[in-house]
A = this chain, B = another copy of it.
Amino acid sequence: MSPVEESTLRALLADVTAGRMSADDAVAALRRLPFADVGGALVDHHRALRQGMPEAVFGPGKSPEQCARIVTELLDHGSGPVLVTRVSVDQIKAIEAAVGTGHAEAGCLLFRAPAANRPGTVALVTAGTSDSAVADECALTLRAYGFSPTRISDVGVAGLHRLLANIDSVTGADAVVVIAGMEGALASVVGGLTAAPVVAVPTSVGYGTSFEGVTALLAMLSSCASGVTVVGIDNGFGAACAVARMLP
């Protein structure tokens, strides 16, 4: 129970004792506290951190109207960025009709993009040109969190010199996101080159035995580089969120 809530409780008890509040009203107030408490604890604990943190809406499976309504509410009742991911053309149309034009990029729609005010440096490393879509989603989400990620593209391990030519950018970052399909080997190589956190994103890029990203996923989970962590297939958004949990 956070200090804030404890003082709320004491004030409430004081009101009851002093007769300023009826027992009925106190019971009603307390009745909602447990749940507010659970959510509230989180908010309080990370308040400083969450200033300006994005609210995210996952587009697929929602009607354009639902999207518009949700975005309207989030913009009205908060002041931070609002990010809609994997948004369709129809959803964009409905949302922008309701709240005005947003920043459309990388299959996402972003409102109230924050300043690039997070100091942590993030390297976003992709194995091939075809991994761009996932990397774009990751980069935009990172920017929604206030980061300014560096992109290092097309450095698949079959041409090791391309990665080594960028080694300073990789080893100098506070966190590295590795995005790769096919056999996903890049995560292991990068994991061995840096002691910073490495978040690996398998992509569904490839054909045949790539099995829509499963091969890269399993390879990344079995990495011989200790301490590499993994998110779901094509989950560039999730990798950015993971980095936002790790860095100042």
Chain A residues with CB under 8 Å of chain B are 1, 6, 9-10, 13-14, 16-17, 19, 23, 26-27, 30-39, 41-42, 45-46, 49-50, 56, 58, 60-62, 66, 127-130, 132, 156-161, 164-165, 167-168, 171-172, 182-185, 187-189, 191-199, 202, 204-211, 213-235, 237-238, 240-246
Contacts and interface: CB of A to CB of B under 8 A. Distances in A.
Contacts of A230: 221, 229-231
Contact of A182 (B19, B31, B214, B223): B223
B224 A242 contact: no
B193 A188 contact: no
Given A45-B172, A161-B39, A195-B46, A130 B60 contact: yes
Copies per complex? Answer: 8
A198 B42 CA distance: 14
A229 B242 contact: yes
B61 A130 contact: yes
B232 A222 contact: yes
A218 B229 contact: no
A183 B234 CA distance: 16
A245 B227 contact: yes
A224 B208 CA distance: 13
Among A10, A214, A219, chain B packs the most CB atoms within 10 A around the CB of A219
B217 A241 contact: no
A52 to B, nearest CB: 13
